[in-house]
Structure 1
Amino acid sequence: MSSKNLNRRGFIGAAGAAGLAVASTGALTGCSDSGAAPGHGAEASAELKLPTYAPAKVAPPDLPGDAAKGVDPGYLRYPKELVKSVPTPPGDGKPITALTETFTTPPPGMAGNAYWQELNKRLGSEFKMTVVVDDAQSTAYRAKFNAIVASGDIPDIVWIPPNQGLQQIPGLVAAKFADLTPLLSGDAVKKFPNLANFPEAAWKSGVIDGKIVGIPFPNPRIRQLYLANPEFWKPVGGLEFDSAEDFLAKGRELLDTKRKKYVLEPAYVNHVARFNEWYGGHNTWGLRDGKLVHMFESDEYFAAIEFALKCRRAQLFWPDLNIPMTTTLEKIQGGYLGAYVNSFTGLLSDAKQYDFPMETIRPFAAEAGAKPNVGLTWISSFTAINGSAGKKRVEMLLNVLNYLAAPFGTEERLFLDNGVEDVHYTRTRTGDTKFTTKGNAVALTTSQPLATMTTAPPYLYIPGEPDMTRNIHGWETELLEIGQANPTEGHFSDTFSNKGSSLTTDVYDRVMDIVAGRMPLSEYQDVVKKFRRNGGDKMRGEYEESLSKSKPKSK
């Protein structure tokens, strides 16, 4: 998503809780640590021409999408007629290095990995990935990223998430990574047709200081959601809850510490974010009486922390804070864990990889009068290209990312999602894909870190599971009806650009301390005061100024 600074596995479908808006007066947005040099970002971004949208000509979906609302198209069967979107291998024969992350089991090494070897052939270059495995508190990628930057040996392409506490990204990107604007702005992007298939909103993630600096991950509109194995919850009547206290009571009933059966994964801050939605809290920022209020300073978020503390005291959380995501999913599948938080994209990945009757816990009113919601965003991660490469190599690397972005309904996407036919997958008589044992172990684990860097625009397809595809399409449609946008998304704040990540990381660290019992809840107000004093109030003022400029002028 992730910080466990809110977004475990949420990098893909999550924008973090800090308000990932950096750009112009209502025109453009950037990624969480993205931003512009003080005093220049808004004007520069307002003048930028984003890449022209040119939709791919592929098979029509069975379940219609709605781009305006964020409903993704759904396919009940794999399309029969596939398009070849990349006619020749995009590589130049020289090795390509990449830094990325995985949120599942790491892939087998290249030497024993037929998928990876086939990828090298199809790219025309050896694709040397450094794959960091996500940890429970999302510190692993940050540590590796910082070490590589400090060494000066920066890979050709580097994934830059908005929600894992990376620091000083605007300055780093300007100094070390390529300005892609001349190659992608406006109609220039049509040279890379799969990238031109990205909707305009997706590109806003890769804009800093009026420049296109990265290839985005075109994420779904829904940021994160609760997922569960409904079999776990059957003894208490399923996944319907009347209130937060009802959820707590049912969780206590299901808890069985002797059998090591717990209710919630230990990503505390993720759960606080979901509880905040149950209480009707803000999606980072909210407007009250025309004034911006940050989530951290709201009564709803405080109530969410208080409820998370109750859950921890009741022992609902798995006791090992460093449980990896793969172990979490294994325990969900085995009935030893009740619910976990994931990005919407992570849901699609898990539904393909794990065999249990997955269901989502719809947001419900935590207490009387609460209006539950789901946080929405258009913002996601982006992948930058090493700035020391010459123009010719930068174009080659863009062509490689163009390959990774191949849409559903293309030959390239069939391979990227499934691997080598008759090795990693087979085709059923209906044309659907079906993983072999090797495919589950190799193709899925290798495709995930590739998809982290960039992938196709969102689509819904669970191989051989049309009912599951229909369910997910239904959940998405239903949840979007109570979706809550961040009013600052699309607006500029110098302070957020320079300090937003560190400020929110500090608050999340304290939230972790409170839920874990290392800090009293009574000290949270001091945490909020520090957040406001060190930049929160200044961010508010800058966003409010940008919002006021974007209002229609009265005639």
Structure 2
Amino acid sequence: MTPNAASAPSGPSRRTFLASTAVATAAVAGGMPLLAACGASDSGSGGGSSAGKGAQKLLPAYVAGSVVTPDIPSKNGSAIGFTGKLDLATLKTSVPKKLGKGGKVTVMAPFWGSPPKQDNPYYDAMNDMIGVDVQWQNQDGNTYDQKLGAVLASSDVPDVVVIPNWNMGGKIPTAIISKFADLGPYLSGDRVKDYPNLAAIPTDAWRRCIFGGKLRGLPMPSSYVTNIVPLYRKDIFDKEGYEVPRSAVEFLSLAKEITNAKAKRWACMDMKWTAWQMFSVLSGSEKPLGWNLVDGKLVNRIETDEYLEALEWTRKLFAAGVVHPDAMLGKNAPDAGPKFAAGEFLIYPNDISQWWSRTAEQATQNPDYKIWGMDVYGHDGGDPQVWAEQPAGIFAFVNKKASESVVRDVLAVANTTAAPYGTKEYMATNYGVEGTHYTVKDGVPTKTTRGNNEVINAYVMIASPAATIAHPDFPDVAKAQVEWQQRMGSFTRKSSFFGQMITEPSRYTNLMDDFETLEDDITRGRKKISDMQQAVAEWKSKGGDKLRDWYQKLLDDNGSSAS
């Protein structure tokens, strides 16, 4: 939908992680998308996994929603898609009666920006619709881990605490197990049918909510298909007669043809993320995804030939001078939008949400502008093999001390916020109050200034519907995004620890801290491939091999969730 705020940043930051996980819910919200444990104590030798062999009985039954029918159903792990104009008169009702009993629920959650006052029309309308008095304790998302640690170490824990996966380091997983309630008695198996919108959340997302052998979290689901798309200027490609490359060799050849430094045009930005995909490198977005069982042995992504080959290909792009100078300086994110629009470079890999946000930015001032997404291809021109991402990354937890009435009120909130696109509850959750927070013209809702200031970073974090993409202002983009996911999903494979919530023992926490810097030094010609080989050897001797053994025991004890 038409943006009324700055576009999402383009680096792999926490905000863009949330943009990708919430592409199903927040990317259609008319403004900037929202901002990617278990078992034993992590006292230094602990850690654990959510994939115990008894986990299946803890999961809520899956019952597909029937209130709204998407224009494009999910396929191969994709989001569902909506391409029609929005008609407020035909919105469905997914929660026919208030489930809340009028109680008060305190919620602590990360917030990026200036949080609104508690007494505002958005919060008031949501609370009235649900029948629960939700009181928000918003905390700065950039320093949330510090606040989180302090609160969980105290005896004064709010009724609900939202915890993104990236804040689950250190002792947080142990605190989750000790401080938060088992929701199994309310949601496991057929019990979830009391909350139909929660029952429609995919099972993979719920599996990520198991901590310490109990179902403790409420998820924000996301598509497991990679969210990193090689985006390109299709209008310039069409004008110049450039063909989308289908191999690593073709890409480099085209990049040389495009680049004319004197004319201030380069082919691309840093293509490392696309290189991972082309060469089928295991995901680096979450540590457990970087391991996979190969011929009976667990192998880490950094130990593979594919990893080195991807670095070497990316290095060749820099060496050939086809990469924009900003990327050489590490300025891959802030200036990407304007310089991409100016045609200074024609290709860059980034979050799928930018396909729409960049389109909307340029729609009025640059009508010929057309950003599109390349399919990922195998480096040799064959079919790719892309690795799945995790199906949920943000979770809400209920205080273990909460009474049953408070738990029921929290679930009433979650059942409302997990309502699907095309319902009154979805519009209220993601847009607020018509006329106050948004207007609708020609079937396209657009947030007002007040909407952008108040209807953000809140109720969607309690729980969200299955991944959804809907852009009534640019339905062709919505259709293309979902179809891209469907095509890439057909080539997507799940690694051994897909879908599991895993906490590594704290002694291994910093084992891989220097690898990203070394990757960038190699691709920019400051270091050699041999330096990476040496770093991998040191990683193995300093704990990598012992960490492998630890993961192997997890696999032996719990099995794999991948299928």
How would you bin the TM-score normalised by the shorter chain? 0.7 to 0.9
* Cross-structure match for 2:116: 109
Distance 1:175 1:39, change over 3 A: closer
- The CA deviation at 1:479 is 1.4
* Cross-structure match for 1:201: 204
Q: What is the TM-score when the length of structure 2 is the normalising length?
A: 0.74
Moved more, 109-118 or 353-362: 109-118
Q: Aligned letter for 1:375?
A: W
* Cross-structure match for 2:277: 277
1:121-132 mapped onto 2 (5 Å cutoff): 121-122=128-129, 124-125=132-133, 127-128=135-136, 130=138, 132=140
Q: Aligned letter for 2:224?
A: R
2:77 aligned residue (60, 67, 70):
70
Q: 2-side partners of 1:516 and 1:147: how far apart?
A: 37
* Cross-structure match for 2:27: none
Q: 2-side partners of 1:525 and 1:161: how far apart?
A: 33
1:229-244 mapped onto 2 (5 Å cutoff): 229-231=233-235, 233=237, 237-238=241-242, 240-244=244-248
User: Do residues 507 (structure 1) and 515 (structure 2) align?
Assistant: yes
The alignment partner of 1:292 has SS state of strand
- The CA deviation at 1:462 is 1.4
1:418 aligned residue (431, 440, 455):
431
- The CA deviation at 1:297 is 0.9
Q: 2-side partners of 1:449 and 1:228: how far apart?
A: 33
Distance 1:385 1:111, change over 3 A: closer
* Cross-structure match for 1:435: 446
* Cross-structure match for 1:305: 311
Moved more, 308-317 or 354-363: 308-317
Distance 1:377 1:148, change over 3 A: closer
Moved more, 354-363 or 332-341: 332-341
* Cross-structure match for 1:482: 491
- 1:264–1:318: 8 Å Cα contact kept in structure 2? no
* Cross-structure match for 2:395: 383
* Cross-structure match for 2:326: 318
* Cross-structure match for 2:58: 49
- The CA deviation at 1:413 is 0.4
User: Do residues 61 (structure 1) and 70 (structure 2) align?
Assistant: yes
Q: Aligned letter for 2:446?
A: F
Q: 2-side partners of 1:259 and 1:122: how far apart?
A: 57
- The CA deviation at 1:338 is 4.0
* Cross-structure match for 2:30: none
User: Do residues 160 (structure 1) and 170 (structure 2) align?
Assistant: no
- The CA deviation at 1:83 is 1.2
- 1:34–1:170: 8 Å Cα contact kept in structure 2? yes
- The CA deviation at 1:9 is 1.9
Q: 2-side partners of 1:542 and 1:3: how far apart?
A: 35
* Cross-structure match for 1:247: 251
- 1:306–1:521: 8 Å Cα contact kept in structure 2? yes
Q: 2-side partners of 1:161 and 1:442: how far apart?
A: 22
The alignment partner of 2:298 has SS state of strand
- The CA deviation at 1:398 is 3.3
Percent of aligned pairs sharing the same letter: 25
The alignment partner of 2:396 has SS state of strand
Q: 2-side partners of 1:526 and 1:281: how far apart?
A: 19
- 1:97–1:129: 8 Å Cα contact kept in structure 2? yes
Instruction: Note the residue ranges of structure 2 that are not aligned, 5 or more in a row.
Output: 1-7, 23-35, 284-289, 364-368
- The CA deviation at 1:172 is 2.8
* Cross-structure match for 2:108: 98
Distance 1:62 1:168, change over 3 A: same
Q: 1-side partners of 2:537 and 2:10: how far apart?
A: 22
User: Do residues 402 (structure 1) and 401 (structure 2) align?
Assistant: no
Q: Aligned letter for 1:308?
A: T
Distance 1:441 1:258, change over 3 A: farther
- The CA deviation at 1:240 is 0.9
- 1:491–1:543: 8 Å Cα contact kept in structure 2? no
- 2:210–2:216: 8 Å Cα contact kept in structure 1? yes
The alignment partner of 1:486 has SS state of coil
- 1:255–1:316: 8 Å Cα contact kept in structure 2? no
- The CA deviation at 1:149 is 1.5
User: Do residues 472 (structure 1) and 481 (structure 2) align?
Assistant: yes
Distance 1:120 1:40, change over 3 A: closer
Q: What is the TM-score when the length of structure 1 is the normalising length?
A: 0.75
CA deviation map 1:361-397 (0-9, x unaligned): 211233x376523322353213233536522434433
Q: 2-side partners of 1:91 and 1:504: how far apart?
A: 48
* Cross-structure match for 2:149: 149
Q: 2-side partners of 1:324 and 1:131: how far apart?
A: 25
Q: Aligned letter for 1:276?
A: W
Q: Aligned letter for 1:382?
A: I
Distance 1:230 1:156, change over 3 A: farther
- The CA deviation at 1:50 is 0.7
Q: 2-side partners of 1:538 and 1:491: how far apart?
A: 20
Give the RMSD, CA atoms, in angstroms: 4.3
Distance 1:515 1:501, change over 3 A: farther
Q: Aligned letter for 2:411?
A: L
How many residue pairs align between the two structures? 512
* Cross-structure match for 1:188: 191
Q: 1-side partners of 2:18 and 2:537: how far apart?
A: 28
Instruction: Note the residue ranges of structure 1 that are not aligned, 5 or more in a row.
Output: 16-31, 134-139
The alignment partner of 1:64 has SS state of coil
CA deviation map 1:331-359 (0-9, x unaligned): 54554554454445675677677746331
Q: Aligned letter for 2:212?
A: D
Q: Aligned letter for 2:82?
A: Y
- 1:488–1:543: 8 Å Cα contact kept in structure 2? no
1:537 aligned residue (540, 545, 560):
545
- The CA deviation at 1:175 is 3.4
Q: 2-side partners of 1:216 and 1:89: how far apart?
A: 19
* Cross-structure match for 1:82: 92
Q: 2-side partners of 1:156 and 1:322: how far apart?
A: 41
* Cross-structure match for 1:178: 181
CA deviation map 1:499-521 (0-9, x unaligned): 67644445335434545667554
- 1:425–1:436: 8 Å Cα contact kept in structure 2? yes
The alignment partner of 2:419 has SS state of coil
- 1:48–1:210: 8 Å Cα contact kept in structure 2? no
Distance 1:43 1:409, change over 3 A: same
- The CA deviation at 1:57 is 2.7
